[in-house]
Copies of this chain bind each other. A is one copy, B any other.
Amino acid sequence: MKCKQTIRRRDASATKAAILGAARTLFAGASYETVGIREIAALAGADAALVSRYFGSKEELFHEVLRDGKRGADLLGTEMEGLPERVAAILMDPEDEGKSMEDILIFLHSANSPLAGEMVRDSIMERFHGPFSEAIGGENAMERAKLFGAMLLGISISEQISGAIAETPEMREKLTVRIAEILAKVIEPL
């Protein structure tokens, strides 16, 4: 009697979504080569064979994860007024745990992968640096956008690695203000 506990009813699109979500989560935590198909399938509660079946290959699955991500502008908003404060608040939100910055973490972990690297670098340009430098506008917008991205990246990955920088709520508040100031300085025209 073979009977594996199937949580959800047979539903191709639902399992496909579950796999995509699991892949997103895992790729945010480690590089393209480190994350295995079986691992993704396990987290999604599906069979490993379905990953290849539904997405064609691991590489295409990863591509789909990238396509599925939010654009930087969607996350941060295009309204420049109060942007540093908004972003700082997201970065320091203890509930968030880097979920808002998931795309950035995915970028980071696989940007140097021999197989997925080029894909990632294109995606960074198209989905982040591009729209964001447009939102900033003015002279040297791209340079300032890249610097801004570098800050987000640094803080996000640092928190993922070493845990939250701020431990107490008061410290968090102070740091939020500080980071907002820094980000404002980053965007400031050169």
User: Counting CB contacts under 8 A, is A171 at the interface?
Assistant: yes
Residue numbers in B under 8 Å from A143 (CB-CB): 165-166, 171, 175
User: Counting CB contacts under 8 A, is A37 at the interface?
Assistant: no
- 8 A Cβ contacts from A98-120 to B: 107-109, 111-114
User: Counting CB contacts under 8 A, is A38 at the interface?
Assistant: no
Chain A, residues 4-21, CB within 8 Å of chain B (1/0): the string is: 000000000000000000
- Give CA–CA (A64, B179) in the complex, Å: 35
Interface of A is mostly: helix
User: Counting CB contacts under 8 A, is A186 at the interface?
Assistant: yes
A175 touches B151 (CB 8 A): no
CB distance from A102 to the nearest CB of B (A): 14
CB distance from A3 to the nearest CB of B (A): 31
Residue numbers in B under 8 Å from A178 (CB-CB): 147, 185-186, 190
- Give CA–CA (A161, B171) in the complex, Å: 32
B175 touches A121 (CB 8 A): no
Give how many A residues have a beta carbon under 8 Å from the other chain's beta carbons.
Answer: 45
CB distance from A145 to the nearest CB of B (A): 10
User: Counting CB contacts under 8 A, is A160 at the interface?
Assistant: yes
22 contacts between A and B (CB under 8 A): A31-B31, A31-B33, A33-B33, A108-B108, A109-B112, A111-B157, A121-B161, A121-B162, A143-B166, A146-B158, A146-B162, A147-B165, A147-B178, A147-B179, A149-B158, A150-B165, A151-B154, A152-B154, A153-B154, A175-B190, A181-B185, A182-B185
Which A residues are within 8 Å of any B CB, using their own CB? 29-31, 33-34, 107-109, 111-114, 121, 124-125, 129, 140, 143, 146-147, 149-155, 157-162, 165-166, 171, 174-175, 178-179, 181-182, 185-186, 190
